[in-house]
Amino acid sequence: MTITTTDVGIMRDVRTAIPGPNSQALHARRQAVVSAGLTNGFPVYIERAAGAILVDVDQNRLLDLGSGIAVTSVGHAVPAIIDAVSRQVADFTHTCFMVTPYEEYIEVCEELARITPGTHAKTSALFNSGAEAVENAVKIARYATGRSAIIVVDHAYHGRTNLTMALTAKNMPYKDHFGPFAPEVYRVATSYPYRDGLSGPEAAARAIAEIETTVGANNVAAILIEPIQGEGGFIVPAEGFLPALSQWTADNGALFIADEIQTGFCRTGRWFAVDHEGVIPDIITTAKGFAGGMPLAGVTGRAEIMNAIHEGGLGGTYGGNPVAVAAAIATIATLRDQNLAERATVLGEHMMSSLRQLQSETTIIGEVRGRGAMAAIELVVAGGNIPNAAAAKAVVNYCNQQGVVAISCGTYGNVVRLLPPLVITDEQLTDGLSVLADAVRSLS
């Protein structure tokens, strides 16, 4: 054992070339049996982890600033989650909730009803992945409204299944040659303050005019939107944009669906990102940070909407698997007990001030943005705002070589995002940010 669950404060330590010899050997083995359609952003193979540190098969200690794309917000190897999962594995691993149910599923849905925005009666259904949750949210919205049009926005990411590919904006790598795509999906402009210069109400008015003229208000089942766009580039909409869209749906018999799959579970400093503007979605989709790394997703909504579906209309063999829900109960308790929403806010202040300082000293950071522990730099060609994907790639690569896991994103591939586990220590975060700063300085 090279690291234990109590070693959460240990520091980054690169001992071999990156990737090291054992990772290289595994990677060669992988080529023979794993589809080339799957890529690895950073091909070091992980053996164990604790807190914000990943240990690879060459015993390098890597600092995790990605949380497996916003999943392990509570950190790696959390004792309470290990206990809950181990106990549940010993009790039973599966019955299928649709065949013979179990209490933990109810407990998770009770938690979702408590922590999601609004005090109205809510019910939930549980699934396995974010994409599956989004698909079901669309099914439910169409059933409940009797309408078919789903409105999504530029830069949106909602998954890789057939329906969610249609909802996702970016072609490469998500959609190319994978069509035909599902119909009745309409894309309108979003709010992207750095690139459109519009206020929230102005951007909303533009989107609403597009909807009304090209789709027709009475055909719209739902507006589906990420409150902060994740894969699309960590785009924080201008204040007032989300409330205006939400109000428009309420006024026009449509539903407002918040895809909080990347932003949820304290990532932005509140339970959910819409909480920052007091928006109360009719339906909210969750996954990722929900269950400390176990696959679990949820659709939570107004009881009258969620319960409109005919009996048996929702389901799936594994949705709300007992082990995954046991992990979710422990994860939500950990987020609450350790006050990790507040910690996300503190981490956000730390990242923002450090990144703004870096922006002022260098020439290629067009914008620093984010909320809570969801922070990013948008890289541009010096002197303007032309997207600089090469720089983002170079920054991520530099970080990786130094043993820091950082991930890029963005429609233009020019954004470097930081999604540290919320339990990262100040010392670890300072270390990671200094590596990132060196990377940007080396390019400026």
C-alpha dist (Å) from residue 352 to 158, 168, 207, 374, 429: 27, 28, 29, 10, 12
Q: Which is nearer to ligand PLZ, 68 or 75 (CB)?
A: 68
Q: Which is nearer to ligand PLZ, 105 or 157 (CB)?
A: 157
User: How far apart (Å, rounded) are the C-alpha atoms in residues 60 and 403?
Assistant: 8
134: contact with ligand PLZ by CB under 6 A:
yes
Q: Which is nearer to ligand PLZ, 395 or 407 (CB)?
A: 407
157: contact with ligand PLZ by CB under 6 A:
yes
Per-position x/- string for 60-79, each x denoting binding to ligand PLZ as judged by CB under 6 A, each - no binding: ---------x----------
User: Which residues, 194 to 253, sit near ligand PLZ by CB under 6 A?
Assistant: 226, 230-231
Q: How far is the CB of 122 from ligand PLZ (least distance, A)?
A: 20
Angle in degrees, 0-180, between the axes of helices 340-361 and 322-337, rounded to the nearest 10: 70
| φ and ψ of 422, to 5 deg | -70, -10
User: Which residues, 243 to 282, sit near ligand PLZ by CB under 6 A?
Assistant: 259, 261-262
User: How far apart (Å, rounded) are the C-alpha atoms in residues 97 and 111?
Assistant: 18
166: contact with ligand PLZ by CB under 6 A:
no
- Give bridge partners of residue 150 from the DSSP assignment: 185, 222
323: contact with ligand PLZ by CB under 6 A:
no
C-alpha dist (Å) from residue 432 to 72, 202, 303, 419: 17, 37, 44, 12
Task: Point out which span in 83-91, 153-161, 306-314, 373-381 binds ligand PLZ (CB under 6 A).
Answer: 153-161
Q: Which is nearer to ligand PLZ, 78 or 287 (CB)?
A: 287
Of residues 137, 166, 287, 396, which one binds ligand PLZ by CB under 6 A? Answer: 287
User: How far apart (Å, rounded) are the C-alpha atoms in residues 198 and 354?
Assistant: 27
Q: How far is the CB of 76 from ligand PLZ (least distance, A)?
A: 18
- The pair of three-digit structure tokens given for residue 264, joined into one six-digit string: 């949820």
Sign, Cα dihedral of 151, 154, 156, 161: positive
Residues lying near ligand PLZ in the complex (CB under 6 A): 69, 129-131, 134, 157-160, 226, 230-231, 259, 261-262, 287
